[in-house]
Structure 1
Amino acid sequence: MSLMSGLYVGVSGLRSSQNSLNTTAHNLANAETKGYVRQQIVQADSPYLNWGINHISTFQTGLGTNIAAVRQVRDIFLDKAYRTESGRQGYYEVQYEAVQEIESLFGEMEGVPFQDTLEKFWISLQELSKEPDSIVKRTSIIQTAVSFIEHAENISKQLNQYQVNLNTQIINQVNRINQIAAEISDLNKTIRHYESNGMENANDYRDRRNLLLDELGKIARITYRENMDGVVTVNLEGVQLVTEENTYKMGLEKISPSSDMLKPVWESTGDDVYDLRKITTGGKETDIGSLKGLLIARGDKPAKYTDIPNPNNTDPAYNYQGRLDYYNNQVEPYVIMTVQAQFDQLIHGIVTTMNDILSPNKEITVTAATTFNFADGTSLSVPAGGKIKILDVENAPVGMDKDQTMGEALFNRKSMVRYKEIDENDLGIDLDGDGILGKVRIYMEEDETDNYSLFTLGEIEVNPNILNNYSLIPLSVNGGTEEYDIKIAEKLVEAWQKPFATLSPNTLTKNNFNGYYTAFMGNIATRGEQYYTMSLNQKSMVASIESQREQSIGVSTDEELTNLIKYQHAYNASARYITVIDNMLEHIITRM
């Protein structure tokens, strides 16, 4: 090896040591930078010079060292695990937050608990049963009924508002997904540009891209792949989001024209990102992403008691099994919808039970097809053999007023009267079978296709007639004696304590009103505890994976300072080597 070649070896050592020092300094400067991945110098031999050959081997002269690559130290398997598990963490966290919000609305943790309102209503019924003719007790029952409905309506409105307000979070997450996709696409172009010469790696840009993938993985389920040019393509929920050249944006549409709730869709095709009718939990990779968690917490519509199938409905057209499948697939998985339906079932049960005692009906069968034309211009058509309900005048209690009014229920529907009157003389039919043609009051049945006909939250009020005149509460004996009917008051108390419904069609235990509410709040708490436990487990798992990642990608200042000393010594060694070669050359030249 010539002395001039020796100088090249020394220079290569200086260059390699200087680059190593620069890389170490870069690591130290970014030790606290979020998403920064430790960089490492990979040194390799410089090309060799061939200066001879024999039958055994080739004679070569080395030219020193060279920087083969400045690589990132990261584990792609840990990256994938981190993004998957952080997505699960986000999925359960947003649902736990929804349960916490729901619990606060019912005031069971702080504020005025709905349990207290329910208890006051129950106590007022007990007091009324002791003195049904007392104006004081009647006043108390009306006031507690008003308070009961107002509190229930307020909770219902807040539930519905919270459900709609989740749109804001959904909008923000969809917008963030689009921003991340655009940034990844831009970084792909930048990285491809810098690495196109095959001489360097755009590591800092790769750090930024990986940080975006971490964030995206928490929002939704993603898969990704890096090609030979350093370009990462990303699929979100199985659909292309970022390709080599393009990005596909996510948009938002109303679930239905009349709905206030939004759903994410792909702008390019109009397809739904998630099929809300098929969202399930517990399956393989079905519980990933905070965006999906928000959609499941919210549901796709406000629910009510009619969404819970009624096993006591014997109508062949009711299709109980179909309704059960609907409840299990499209109501029960969604946090807010389940609460709305179960709470509405409680309020509906209390209201209709109280009403049917104070204003009882009896069912009759219409022998021939009949159309009932009412004074308000509406009509009701009943086929032959069809059934209708009419006010049971024989068993109905009456008010304390001078007219002894009957048929006044405690609760009304805001937009539909309880009864519509028909004259049997106009029909020529003795509907009630009392042998006298007279006026009959036909009960207006609830129709689940007409929200205004339902005793559902948002459509219930305390009877305005009773509010204006407490003596109209029908608690007196029907017969002109003006004596109070103790049996009616007792029925109200007994009905409160009698089991009326199960919390859901998947449970067997029927509860009375107080027991139902206790089970209802217990179910919410249990669901919240499940989400909390899952989110806590996921948080622990994510932290463990992140700790493992940090062991490889994190910058250790102690290690980097050690490398700094090492590369300084290597630099000094190369410098002294060059000095020796320089002295040798000087000696040779001056001696010639």
Structure 2
Amino acid sequence: MSLSSSLQVGVSGLTASQNALNTTAHNLANVNTKGYTRQQVVMADFAYQKWGVNHISTLQTGLGVDIETVRQVRNMFYDKSYRTELGRQGFYQTQYETVQEVESMFGELEGVAFQDSINDLWVSLQEFAKTPDTIENRASLLEDARSFLERADNISKQLSNYQVNLNKQIMEKVNTVNDIADKIYNLNQKISLYESNGQEHANDLRDERNNLLDELGGIINITYKENSIGVVTVSAEDMPLVTENETYKMDVAKVSESSDLLKPVWASFNRDVYRMDLPISTENNTDIGSLKGLLVSRGSDKANYTDIPVKPVKTSGMSDADYDAALADYAGKVKEYNSTVNVSVIMTAQAQFDQLIHGIVTSINDIFSPNKEVTLAGNVTLPNGVTLNAGEKIMILDEDNAPYGMDKPDYTQGEALFNRKSTDRYSASVPVTIDNGDGTTTIKNVRIYNKENSSDIYSLFTLGEIEINPEISNNYSKLPLSAGKEVVGVDVKSAEKLLALWNKPFAALSPNSLAVSTFKDYYTNFTGEIGTWGNELNTISQNQATMVQNIDDQRQSIMGVSSDEELTNLIKYQHAYNASSRFITVIDQMMEHIVTRL
């Protein structure tokens, strides 16, 4: 091997050591940079010069060292696990935050509990039932009823407003996904161009892209792969988001024409981003991403008490076939409830809270203004033009059991405490023919009750549609609890019903609960269930956070920069550089010696 060739060996050592020192210095400079991936110099033989062959092997001389690559030290398995579990943490953390917001609306932890409004109304009802003839008790009842209703309406509006306001967070996350997709696409182009010569690696650009994939994984469920030219293609919820040639953007659209709620959609594919009918499970990876967590906790519609299925009760006039059909219909409604309302924090709170208010309002009304069911013996046309046919069962004011007011000389009978804003409790008094059930009929003027219709929100005693009866607001004496016209004394049966109202079993929280509660217990169970739900979500979220941290720690142990290790490498490469320099000096001295001796 010639001395000039030996100089090349020394120069290659200087160059390789210098590049290794630069890489080590770059690592040390980014020791605290979040998302930075440690870079490692991989050295290889430069080339060999063949100068002969013997019976064992080829005789050759090495020409030095070369930098084969400067690689990033990462573990793809940890990266994928980290992004999946981070998305799962975001899914449950988002729902937990929603539960916290809902809990704060009822004021149980802020000293303004809605429970107080229920208790105040109950105390006023008791006092009124004991001494209904005092104007003070009547005024107190009206005031507490108004306060109860205003507070309930306020909570309902807060729930609805919060539900709609989540649109903003959904739009922000959709915009973030689109922005990240654009950035990944642009980085793909830069990385592909930079590495096109096959010699250099755009490691810092790759770090930036990996950080974007981490952020994207927390928002939506993604899969990705890198091709041979360094381009990463990304799919979100099994649909292409970033390809080699373009990005596919998300957009938002209304859940329905009549809804104010928004949902993410694929603008290019004209389809929803999520299939919300799929059950939430870790096994199927349907619980990933903070964006989906928002959609699940918000729900797809505003709920009320009619969304909670009520199990049918077999009556004496119901055949087995009809009862079986009613049970089958109920089972279908329960399944729908569990897949739509019961998975949403807000919709569950809306439906169960509305059921409580509906129960209290209608129970009080049915004491002050009781109804009974009768069968028509002939057709009747109501003032609004609706015709009722013979044989049809209707509800009318039960004048035999309805208490009277104290308003002289009218002594109004059956005036309800609560009204629907857009629907009168009764139609105008009309003459009807009633089937007495014994072969005889009776013709009399009756007030026909306008039933609630689940398809017409204006007919429901639901929050937002309930008001204090203006007739009673304007004249307290119309509040009925007297035994009769010009009769001194309380309607004992109605008073007893009022006193027993709060101890009477009311309803179960949902079709999944067998326990039927009183009004007070129902509210306690309701708030307790929300709190339990929140604790479960918080526990899952914290467990996920621990798992994410553990995976990230393992990632960092591989990709993170260790200052001790890098300082060791720095000394190593400095010595290698010095050795190469010393080697060149020796060769130079040898060449000088030879030249000066010629």
Q: Normalising by the residue count of structure 1, what TM-score does the alignment of the two structures yield? A: 0.96
Output the amino acid matched with 1:342. Q
1:432–1:161 Cα change, 3 Å = farther
Partner SS state of residue 442, structure 1? coil
1:346 is the counterpart of 2:352? no
Residues 132 and 489 of structure 1 are in contact (CA less than 8 Å); yes or no, is this contact kept in structure 2? no
d(CA) in 2 for partners of 1:175, 1:302 = 25
SS, match of residue 447 in structure 1: coil
Quote the Cα distance in structure 2 between the aligned partners of 1:430 and 1:364. 7
User: Is this contact kept in 2: 1:363–1:388, CA < 8 A?
Assistant: yes
Query: 1 CA distance for matches of 2:429 and 2:481?
Result: 25
Structure 1: how far apart are the matches of 2:588 and 2:292? 70
- Give CA deviations for 1:202-257 in whole Å, capped at 9, x if unaligned: 10010000000000100011111111111111111111111111111001000111
Aligned residue in 2 for 1:489: 495
Match of 2:542 among 529, 536, 539: 536
Q: Greater shift after overlay, 514-523 or 438-447?
A: 438-447
CA contact (8 A) 1:432 1:440 kept: no
CA apart distance, 1:196: 1.1
Q: Take 1:383 and 1:221, find their aligned partners in 2: how far apart are those partners?
A: 57
Distance in 2, Cα, partners of 1:51 & 1:282: 65
Q: Within the alignment, does 1:365 sit opposite 2:371 as a pair?
A: no
Identity of aligned residues (%): 59
Instruction: Look up the match of 1:418.
Output: 425
Does the CA contact (< 8 Å) of 2:220 and 2:292 recur in 1? yes
Q: Say whether residues 1:321 and 2:331 are aligned partners.
A: yes
The 1-side partners of 2:509 and 2:389 are apart by 35
Work out whether residues 303 and 347 of structure 2, in 8 Å CA contact, stay in contact via their aligned partners in 1.
yes
Q: Which residue of 1 aligns with 2:263?
A: 263
Aligned partner of residue 510 in structure 1, secondary structure: coil
User: Structure 1 CA distance, aligned partners of 2:560 and 2:269?
Assistant: 42
Q: Tell me, which stretches of 5 or more residues in structure 2 are unaligned? A: none
In structure 2, what is the equivalent of residue 399 of structure 1? 405
Cα distance in 1 for partners of 2:503, 2:164 equals: 36
8 Å CA contact 1:395, 1:478 repeated in 2: no
Distance change >3 Å, CA 54–CA 435, structure 1 → 2: closer
The one-letter code of the counterpart of 1:423 is V
With over 3 angstroms needed to count, the CA separation of the structure-2 counterparts of 1:411 and 1:283, relative to structure 1, is farther
Partner of 1:18: 18
Q: CA RMSD in A?
A: 1.6
Offset of residue 423 of structure 1? 2.8
**8 Å Cα contact 2:278-2:286 kept in structure 1:** no
Q: Is 1:53 equivalent to 2:89 in the alignment?
A: no
Change (3 A) 1:432 1:140: farther
Task: Give 1:197 deviation, angstroms.
Answer: 1.1
Distance 1:313 1:455 in 2: 22
What is the rounded CA distance, in whole Å, between the counterparts of 2:224 and 2:111 in structure 1?
48
Q: In the alignment, what sits opposite 1:141? A: 141
Q: Which range is displaced more, 480-489 or 340-349?
A: 480-489
The residue correspondences of 1:143-182 to structure 2 (distance < 5 A) are: 143-182=143-182
Deviation at residue 277 of structure 1 after TM alignment: 3.0
- 2:209 aligned residue: 209
Matched with 1:130 is 130
Listed one character per residue, the Cα deviations across residues 268-308 of structure 1 (whole Å, up to 9, x for unaligned) are 11100012233524542111100000000100010000000
1:7-48: CA deviation from partner (whole Å, max 9, x where unpaired):
000000000000001001111111122211000111111111
Runs of 4+ in 1 over 6 A off after TM superposition: 431-436
How far, CA to CA, are the matches of 2:441 and 2:487 in structure 1?
Answer: 24
CA contact (8 A) 1:371 1:379 kept: no
AA at the equivalent of 2:526: F
- What is the distance in 2 between the residues matched to 1:7 and 1:436? 125
Structure 2: which amino acid aligns with 1:230? G
Structure 1 unaligned spans of 5+: none
Contact between 2:406 and 2:478, CA under 8 Å: does it hold in 1?
Answer: yes
1:94 and 1:573 map into 2 onto residues whose CA distance is 58
Alpha-carbon shift at residue 55 of structure 1 (Å): 3.4
Say if 1:396 and 1:478, in contact at 8 Å, map to a contact too. no
Contact 1:372 1:422 in 2 (8 A): no
More displaced stretch, 391-400 vs 312-321:
312-321
CA 1:560 to 1:282, structure 2 compared with 1: closer, same or farther past 3 Å? Answer: closer
Tell whether the 8 Å contact from 2:312 to 2:330 is kept in structure 1 after alignment: no
Distance 2:505 2:137 in 1: 26
- Write out per-residue CA displacement over residues 123-163 of structure 1, whole angstroms, 9 at most, x where no aligned residue: 11222222122211111111110000000000000000000
| 1:556 corresponds to | 562
The letter of the residue matching 1:358 is: F
Distance in 1, matches of 2:548 and 2:380, equals 67
Q: Cα deviations across residues 555-587 of structure 1 (Å, max 9, x unaligned)?
A: 112221221121111111100100000000010
Match of residue 441 from structure 1: 447
| Structure 1 contact 250–265 (Cα < 8 Å) conserved | yes
Deviations 1:61-112 (A, max 9, x none): 1011110110111111110110011011100000000000000000011141
- Is the 1:359–1:407 Cα contact (8 Å) retained in structure 2? yes
Q: What's 2:478 paired with?
A: 472
Distance (whole Å) between structure 1 residues aligned to residue 43 and residue 89 of structure 2: 41
Return the alpha-carbon distance in structure 1 between the equivalents of residues 133 and 515 of structure 2: 36
Q: Distance in 1 between matches of 2:100 and 2:111?
A: 14
Partner of 2:341: 331
Question: Superposed, which structure 2 residues align to 1:184-203 within 5 Å?
Answer: 184-203=184-203
Residue in structure 2 matched with residue 115 of structure 1 by the alignment: 115
For 2:283 and 2:412, locate their aligned partners in 1 and report how far apart those are by CA, in whole Å. Answer: 60
Q: Distance in 1 between matches of 2:464 and 2:281?
A: 31
Which amino acid counterpart does residue 416 of structure 1 have in structure 2?
A: T
Cα contact 2:10–2:583 (8 A) shared by 1: yes
Counterpart code for 1:407 = G
Superposed CA deviations along residues 337-391 of structure 1, whole A, max 9, x for unmatched, are: 01100000000000000001110111011244x24221xxx13333443210011
Q: 1:383 to 1:280 in 2, by over 3 A?
A: farther
Residue identity matched to 2:213: L
Q: What corresponds to 2:587 in structure 1?
A: 581
For residues 61 and 570 of structure 2, the distance between their equivalents in structure 1, rounded to whole angstroms, comes to 30
Once residues 279 and 267 of structure 1 are traced to their aligned partners in structure 2, the CA distance between those partners, rounded to angstroms, is: 25
**How big is the shift at 1:56?**
2.7
State how far apart, in whole Å, the 2-side matches of 1:201 and 1:383 are: 84
Task: Specify the SS of the correspondent of 1:511.
Answer: coil
CA distance in 2, matches of 1:278, 1:384: 47
Distance in 2 of aligned mates of 1:55 and 1:566: 38
Once the two structures are TM-superposed, the CA of residue 325 in structure 1 deviates from its matched residue by 1.4
